[in-house]
Amino acid sequence: MRHLIGSNLLMTVGCGVIIEYNEQILLQHRKDHDVWGIPGGVMEPGELFEETAIRETNEETGLTVRKLKLFGIYSGDEGYSRYENGDLVYSVQIIFFTTEFSGEIIQSTDESHEHRFFSRNELPPLNQH
């Protein structure tokens, strides 16, 4: 798509999951923006929102999430972003919540430095996109 539109604005749909365990939230320290955020990523054509959330969470954390509940749908001015390479995007975010997951956390991936559970009152500054 980018070879057709260059760095012009592209609209995307992102899906993420808030994973809670023992009253703590799992966050990933991202490599691309050097910020903390919830696991998630961009929807592929033909996917359901839940499928995107499950796939992206597994790719980024190694965990398989289940019993997703809709947490919120986010749009508005905060959805605009410019990537390091100059590409412009506008992202609508579909966020889910779960306490049901299995697997072992992968600490370092192509996209993450680490994953860590934080209590709600000790959350680090979060990525807003």
Active site residues: 114
| 3-state SS class at 50 | helix
Choose among 46, 44, 38: nearest CA to 74: 38
- Is residue 15 within 8 Å of 43, Cβ to Cβ? yes
- Full DSSP string of 11-29: EEEEEEEEEEETTEEEEEE
**Start-to-end Cα distance in the chain:** 21
CA distance 95 to 50: 9
- Is residue 30 within 8 Å of 36, Cβ to Cβ? yes
